[in-house]
Copies of this chain bind each other. A is one copy, B any other.
Amino acid sequence: MAAASARQVNIAIIGAGGVGKCFLSQLEQLAARRPDPKLVLTYICTSKKALYSTDHVAISIGSVTSALASSQQPPLALPKLADFLGTSGSKTVLVDNTSSQDVADAYPLFLSRGISIVTPNKKAFSGSYKLWQDIFAAAAQSGAKVYHESSVGAGLPVISTLKDLVETGDEVTKIEGVFSGTMSFLFNSFAPTSGSGGQWSAEVKKAKELGYTEPDPRDDLNGLDVARKLTILARLAGLPVESPTAFPVQSLIPKELESVASGDEFLEKLPAFDAQMEETKAAAEKEGKVVRFVGSIDVATKQVKVGLEKFDLSHPIAALKGSDNIISFYTKRYGSNPLIIQGAGAGGDVTAMGVTSDLLKVLGQIA
Contacts and interface: CB of A to CB of B under 8 A. Distances in A.
A250 to B, nearest CB: 26
B337 A322 contact: yes
Q: Give this chain's copy count.
A: 2
Given A164-B353, A169-B26, A360-B167, A337 B343 contact: yes
A57 interface: no
A335 B339 contact: no
Contacts of A54: none
Nearest to A320: B337
A169 B157 CA distance: 16
B324 A357 contact: no
Contacts of A143: 1-3
A178 B194 CA distance: 26
Nearest to A33: B169
Contacts of A356: 168-169
Contacts of A114: 1
A299 interface: no
A340 B341 contact: yes
A147 to B, nearest CB: 11
A1 B143 CA distance: 5
A30 B160 contact: no
A338 interface: yes
Contact of A344 (B157, B335, B347): B335
A164 B314 CA distance: 31
A357 B168 contact: yes
Contacts of A144: 1
Contact of A342 (B169, B333, B342, B350): B342
Contacts of A30: 168-169
B322 A314 contact: no
A337 B353 contact: no
Contacts of A322: 336-337
A335 B323 CA distance: 12
Contacts of A340: 340-343
Given A169-B26, A334-B343, A344-B337, A2 B314 contact: no
A141 interface: yes
Nearest to A165: B353
Contacts of A316: 316, 319, 342
Nearest to A338: B343
A60 to B, nearest CB: 19
Interface in A67-125: 114
Interface centre among A167, A336, A343 (most CB of B within 10 A): A343
A164 B26 CA distance: 12
Contact of A321 (B140, B141, B337, B341): B337
Nearest to A355: B168
9 shortest A-B CB distances, which residue pairs? A1-B143, A339-B343, A340-B342, A164-B357, A168-B356, A333-B349, A29-B169, A168-B353, A157-B157
Interface of A: 1-3, 26, 29-30, 33, 114, 140-144, 155-157, 160-161, 164-165, 167-170, 193, 314, 316, 319, 321-322, 324, 333-344, 347, 349-350, 353, 356-357, 360, 364-365
